[in-house]
């Protein structure tokens, strides 16, 4: 009876699968294949994503410099001869540019470098516009240098730098108004003499942003500092508030409508689009409370509000994981409820709270959209002061700096943007590793 579905009355061998079974087995392996493919696709995406960012951004950590002796002519830089800082300050960057130019011309002549079709503009354009400002700062810091001949590391033009990183070629230079094949040949000749080299670029991590014309000197110094300040604000505000809120909700709150509303609210806030928090920050902190634009304090406050739900959810989970026997034992020896929580439950939940906090902070560090609305995209050239006053100075933030650079015309800024992403990812990696380490080391299971 049960084999009524088999046609022809022929009993199939147990060892040979009938067509129906074969179909079912094929469907089985197909389904399995889809699953495996999905996992492989997502892992490949991860690898491709990280690979493109890394290959695009590593160039930002290397920079081409020209190493030439520069004669700091006292007649030009300090006419009074008194080495009075005020008098030296009156000498403009332009003069230093001329001095660098003379030094380069002298170096070219000394080494007997000949390049066909080399115009004056090409020679002048080899040196970055930022180099003269850097030289001026160096002299202002140490007026004794005037009159001496010092070995100076001079930034070269972003196009020449790009030439050694494969971004600019002889062909593209021929079409480019900002460089020329002759200029690149000059750079090659200088390189052959050992005066030009592409080396590790610390200043990418320490220098401020630079204007559109000088990608070679742009750095993430202010952005790192601004992000750090914001994280400081987030840490100081969100941890106490978040932990206090979780303690109340988990340990003391009666089950009523009010606490229900709070709970639904918190899970909702965790899913509200981040840009909405930016609008809140703009309306409440800048327009209403009158805090300054692009200040880390405003960014920190906005990110605090965003991070709070994450921290509250993590802290509540950590508190929930502490077994009730701990509370019962504390209450049993006469502790009040407050004492049982603060003396016993909270210390035991601390590792979980720390892990959740770090993950929340990592999220806040990478957040961009709300910061755009509170003016963090502004061009900032001066480092903010030390906290607490510095919290009110204009600053940038790492993710916003990335966005800022992607909006610039010069392709050299794309490399800088990818480089800044690498810095950001390194910070995130460190924070997540710390969280994993804390979890492994202190996690207790009851």
Partner 1 sequence: MPVSWTLLIVLALALAGYLATRARAVAQTGGDTRKLHSRPSYHGWNAALLTALPALFLIAIWRFVQPAANTTLVAVAGLALAALGLALALGRTGPAFRARNAVETMVKGLLILCSSIAILTTAGIVFSMLFETGNFFQQYPWQDFFFGTTWSPKFGGGSQLGILPLVWGTMYISLIALAVSVPIGLFAAIYMSEYASPRLRSIAKPAIEVLAGIPTIVYGLFALITVGPLLRDYFAQPLGLGASGSSVMTAGLVMGIMLIPFVSSLSDDIINAVPQSLRDGALGLGSTHSETIKKVVLPAALPGIVGAILLAASRAIGETMIVVMGAGASAQMSVNPFEAMTTITVKIVSQLTGDTDFAAPETLVAFALGLTLFVVTLILNIIALYVVRKYREQYE
Q: Does 433 bind partner 1 (CB under 8 A)?
A: no
Q: DSSP string spanning 177-213?
A: TT--HHHHHHHHHHHHTT-EEEEE-THHHHS----TT
| 155 beta partners | 65
Smallest separation (angstroms) from partner 1 to the CB of 86: 30
Q: Does 375 bind partner 1 (CB under 8 A)?
A: yes
Neighbours of 189 (CB within 10 A): 18
Q: Does 265 bind partner 1 (CB under 8 A)?
A: yes
Q: Does 148 bind partner 1 (CB under 8 A)?
A: no
Smallest separation (angstroms) from partner 1 to the CB of 178: 21
Do 330 and 204 touch, CB atoms closer than 8 A?
no
**Candidate residues 241, 317, 350, 434; the one interacting with partner 1 per rule CB under 8 A:** 241
Binders of partner 1 among residues 382 to 411 (CB under 8 A) are 388-389, 399, 402-403, 406
Query: In this complex, which beta carbon is closest to partner 1, that of residue 68 or of residue 359?
Result: 359
Q: What is the 3-class SS of 220-279, one letter each residue? A: CHHHHHHHHHHHHHHHHHHHHHHHHHHHHHHHHCCCCHHHHHHHHHHHHHCCCCHHHHHH
- Which of 312, 332, 330 minimizes the C-alpha distance to 320? 312
The piece of 64-72, 104-112, 268-276, 343-351 that touches partner 1 (CB under 8 A) is 268-276
Residue 353 CA to residue 346 CA, distance in Å, equals 9
Binders of partner 1 among residues 292 to 311 (CB under 8 A) are 305, 308-309
Smallest separation (angstroms) from partner 1 to the CB of 204: 17
Q: Does 17 bind partner 1 (CB under 8 A)?
A: no
Query: In this complex, which beta carbon is closest to partner 1, that of residue 183 or of residue 401?
Result: 401
Query: In this complex, which beta carbon is closest to partner 1, that of residue 122 or of residue 415?
Result: 415
Q: Does 367 bind partner 1 (CB under 8 A)?
A: yes
**Candidate residues 126, 190, 303, 424; the one interacting with partner 1 per rule CB under 8 A:** 424
Residue 248 CA to residue 241 CA, distance in Å, equals 11
Alpha-carbon distances, residue 251 vs 47, 429, 439 (angstroms): 43, 33, 23
The piece of 127-135, 139-147, 221-229, 282-290 that touches partner 1 (CB under 8 A) is 282-290
Binders of partner 1 among residues 185 to 204 (CB under 8 A) are none
- Alpha helix ranges (H) inside 322-375: 324-332, 337-339, 346-365, 369-373
**Candidate residues 362, 380, 412, 438; the one interacting with partner 1 per rule CB under 8 A:** 362
Smallest separation (angstroms) from partner 1 to the CB of 329: 19
Binders of partner 1 among residues 25 to 84 (CB under 8 A) are 25, 27-28, 30-32, 34-39, 41-43, 45-46, 48-49, 52-53, 56
Q: Backbone phi, then psi, for 151, in 5-degree steps?
A: -70, 125
Q: Which residues, 6+ apart, have CB-to-CB distance to 167 below 8 Å?
A: 59, 411, 412, 415
Q: Does 369 bind partner 1 (CB under 8 A)?
A: yes
| Size of residue set near partner 1 by CB under 8 A | 90
**Candidate residues 119, 211, 267, 325; the one interacting with partner 1 per rule CB under 8 A:** 267
Residue 226 CA to residue 420 CA, distance in Å, equals 14
Residue 90 CA to residue 79 CA, distance in Å, equals 11
Tally the C-alpha atoms within 13 A of residue 363's C-alpha that lie toward its C-beta: 18
Binders of partner 1 among residues 314 to 353 (CB under 8 A) are 336, 338
Coil, helix or strand at residue 65: strand
Start-to-end C-alpha separation, the chain? 56
Query: In this complex, which beta carbon is closest to partner 1, that of residue 336 or of residue 382?
Result: 336
Query: In this complex, which beta carbon is closest to partner 1, that of residue 74 or of residue 372?
Result: 372
Smallest separation (angstroms) from partner 1 to the CB of 332: 18
Q: Does 274 bind partner 1 (CB under 8 A)?
A: yes
Query: In this complex, which beta carbon is closest to partner 1, that of residue 127 or of residue 266?
Result: 266
**Candidate residues 81, 85, 240, 323; the one interacting with partner 1 per rule CB under 8 A:** 240
- Which of 403, 395, 347 minimizes the C-alpha distance to 232? 395
Smallest separation (angstroms) from partner 1 to the CB of 35: 3
Coil, helix or strand at residue 62: strand
């Amino acid at each position: 009876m049960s084999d009524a579905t088999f046609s022809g009355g022929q009993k199939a061998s147990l060892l040979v699968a009938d067509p129906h079974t074969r179909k079912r087995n094929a469907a089985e392996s197909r389904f399995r294949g889809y699953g495996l493919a999905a996992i492989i696709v997502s892992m490949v995406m991860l690898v491709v994503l990280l690979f493109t960012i890394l290959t695009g951004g590593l160039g930002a950590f290397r920079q081409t410099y020209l190493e030439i002796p520069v004669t700091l002519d006292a007649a030009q830089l300090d006419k009074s001869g008194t080495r009075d800082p005020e008098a030296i300050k009156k000498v403009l960057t332009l003069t230093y540019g001329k001095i660098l130019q003379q030094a380069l011309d002298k170096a070219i002549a000394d080494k007997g470098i000949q390049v066909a079709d080399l115009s004056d503009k090409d020679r002048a354009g080899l040196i970055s516009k930022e180099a003269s400002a850097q030289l001026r700062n160096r002299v202002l810091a140490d007026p004794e240098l005037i009159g001496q001949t010092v070995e100076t590391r001079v930034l070269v033009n972003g196009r020449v730098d790009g030439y050694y990183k494969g971004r600019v070629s002889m062909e593209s230079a021929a079409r480019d108004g900002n460089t020329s094949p002759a200029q690149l040949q000059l750079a090659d000749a200088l390189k052959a003499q050992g005066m030009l080299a592409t080396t590790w670029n610390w200043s990418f991590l320490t220098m401020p942003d630079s204007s559109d014309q000088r990608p070679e000197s742009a750095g993430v110094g202010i952005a790192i500092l601004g992000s750090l300040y914001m994280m400081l604000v987030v840490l100081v505000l969100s941890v106490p508030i978040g932990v206090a809120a979780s303690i109340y909700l988990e340990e003391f709150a009666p089950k009523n409508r009010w606490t229900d509303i709070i709970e639904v609210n918190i899970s909702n806030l965790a899913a509200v689009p981040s840009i909405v928090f930016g609008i809140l920050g703009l309306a409440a902190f800048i327009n209403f409370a009158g805090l300054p634009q692009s200040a880390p304090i405003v960014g920190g406050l906005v990110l605090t509000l965003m991070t709070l739900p994450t921290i509250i959810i993590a802290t509540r989970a950590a508190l929930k994981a502490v077994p009730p026997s701990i509370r019962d034992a504390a209450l049993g020896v006469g502790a009040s409820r407050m004492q049982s929580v603060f003396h016993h439950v909270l210390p035991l939940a601390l590792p979980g709270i720390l892990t959740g906090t770090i993950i929340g902070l990592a999220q806040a560090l990478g957040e961009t959209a709300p910061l755009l609305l509170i003016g963090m995209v502004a061009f900032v050239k001066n480092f903010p002061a030390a906290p607490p006053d510095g919290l009110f100075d204009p600053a940038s933030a790492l993710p916003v700096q990335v966005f800022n650079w992607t909006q610039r015309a010069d392709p050299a800024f794309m490399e800088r943007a990818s480089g800044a992403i690498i810095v950001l990812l390194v910070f995130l990696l460190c924070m997540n590793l710390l969280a994993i380490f804390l979890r492994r080391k202190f996690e207790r299971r009851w």
